[in-house]
Structure 1
């Protein structure tokens, strides 16, 4: 069972706007599907074509993540190399040329979407409609989920968070050869995905789901054991689901895991523990704050 499936409840998923028109493919052309999470590939016409690994793949991912905006040459160089070799500008031009050729071989319209703006330094853009890119699906639904969450629409938030997680298939940009800046960019998406998983579980908890959320939260904690938000959710769903032994076991496990990394439970987590000991159901169901993860001290 995947990391998204394990905590998903069947709630109808809203559609994303097509995004075709001014930026993207003509309405008469069925666009290829661009996948950046889990693998980096282009699907269309009954085939799936991976983008060549290494620096060329890093250029492709970096351009797609810019959502059609022009990217200056220096920005791409910084994402490819921590310290640029003298040959870096020439190498980048070669990567752009090969990428354009590879995309055109998959789909001529896709090849034409890689645009070069010449002038005071080169700028590049990969103009692809939002509906064709998995990460943009993720961003679209994650943002709308947050909006519904702030508006108090729990079911609407859950629907959008579920749709966001359905678009996310694994780590962003595997097989890319880039700089620490590119790695940091990927990490921001990873953190965003973890937050969406927590908020999806929170939305489902507010809709009355409890113990069925445990497998998904456990899987999240295996990949991110310092996420106090996920630990707090695990404490709450087991308590509200009537499994107090599991709640206390999870508390001791959380304290030990944090201690292994030189951390103590946050004040919010301690307050939740005290609410559990007092059997304060109202505070457990609707805590004023759920903490996120913290770096080891």
Structure 2
């Protein structure tokens, strides 16, 4: 694989064909970091100044141009001419994201994977690239936030890598690495569970039990109870039910060809952003209650869990029912839909990609995350009830995510006008439709601009 030109892991450096750049001033370095972090996107001048100065001076706007000249001069040494661009108070660095190690790591984590062996190779490469301290030597509020995101990406890669490695039967090869990681990540449930599983599958059962007891004792010292997933894992161990090919927490499912029964029940987890599932339980139940369907609804942790019978058409759930959920639930909420039970559904609803989409969405939006096996169910694609092309692949586990928004007053007016006049509906901003027809009186869309509607 081609090495990235720009490195943020282990410090800041840029080198191409033996030629490197020399940014001597801290402000020049911070400007480069900020523009690289934007992933070829435009950054507002005010935001760029916050990356460069803790307290931007009055002359910050003029100084940006001086810093940009120095940056252009150094980048030209690498053959990058005229890549520092600005217009109307916006700045960007026109460099391919895969030339930057942090974005290449993200790409390797989220890239489609054929099977566990392919996933292992890509994730091993991601972990090689993100060795060391991210942005070592830099300190500021904005940089600290980006450093935290980089560390979380590395953690995702680690979890996914050790999952596939253990499923491939490489417990003995990886157990030493997991033991070395444990002191630093003793509070991380997934990495701890993977260490316990690796020890158990390698035949080191007393050590596996001792590690579990140590984790449980650490929780007690902080007044915390044992997570249900860890308790279930320990029970499986005691009952000799933990196998590398058995799937489930913490090993996950094989990549490439789902082992899930195609007639398995869909489990839907709805997590309100408020963290109070009792506030939306009745609203969710109303969506999942039909004269011909009995869907059990319960509360687990901060999610409302709904189990849909296997004989209910999956398109109906993912298409029509999710659109009705967006219309019915007044709170921001994230949804996870899985074929492998409530645990995976809750994890999807709590995934970083779902929470990030929810945090960036306007009030009233519903974020839906599908498990990979749900996205590829036979017979799900096609037809009018669900448009799978509007789901984007994201996250460490090949999740598929989209955002639904419901603005009842505006949608009802627009839908009625559309039916009455037969004219196309447009907005002053970008609008992407979810399907070609309204659901009831609701127009459902992946992106709806909040500006005034007009008719074309």
Question: TM-score, with normalisation over the residues of structure 2?
Answer: 0.50
**Could you say if the C-alpha distance between residues 233 and 254 of structure 1 is closer, same or farther in structure 2, counting changes exceeding 3 Å?**
same
Q: Which of 28, 31, 45 pairs up with 1:73?
A: 45
- Match runs of 1:147-296 below 5 Å: 147-148=112-113, 153-178=115-140, 180-282=141-243, 285-288=246-249
1-side partners of 2:32 and 2:67: how far apart? 9
The number of residue pairs the alignment matches comes to 254
**Could you say if the C-alpha distance between residues 53 and 135 of structure 1 is closer, same or farther in structure 2, counting changes exceeding 3 Å?**
farther
Asked if the contact 1:240/1:285 (under 8 Å) is kept, the reply is no
**Could you say if the C-alpha distance between residues 140 and 280 of structure 1 is closer, same or farther in structure 2, counting changes exceeding 3 Å?**
same
**Could you say if the C-alpha distance between residues 259 and 76 of structure 1 is closer, same or farther in structure 2, counting changes exceeding 3 Å?**
farther
Residue equivalent to 1:98? 70
Residue equivalent to 1:58? 30
Query: What RMSD in Å do the two structures reach over aligned CA positions?
Result: 2.9
Bigger fraction of residues in strand: 2
1-side partners of 2:26 and 2:218: how far apart? 36
Shift of 1:242: 0.6
Bigger fraction of residues in helix: 1
Question: TM-score, with normalisation over the residues of structure 1?
Answer: 0.74
Range 265-274 or range 76-85, more displaced:
76-85
2-side partners of 1:289 and 1:233: how far apart? 6
Q: SS state of the match for residue 169, structure 1?
A: coil
Shift of 1:50: 5.5
Residue equivalent to 2:429? none
Q: SS state of the match for residue 39, structure 2?
A: coil
Asked if the contact 1:236/1:284 (under 8 Å) is kept, the reply is no
Once the two structures are superposed, residues 119-146 of structure 1 have per-residue CA deviations (whole angstroms, 9 ceiling, x without a partner) of x32x2221223443222321211111xx
Residue equivalent to 1:4? none
Q: Relative contact order, CA 8 A, sep 6+: which one is greater? A: 1
In the alignment, structure 1 residue 134 sits paired with structure 2 residue 101: yes
Asked if the contact 2:166/2:244 (under 8 Å) is kept, the reply is no
2-side partners of 1:163 and 1:200: how far apart? 10
Residue equivalent to 1:117? 86
Shift of 1:98: 2.5
2-side partners of 1:254 and 1:285: how far apart? 23
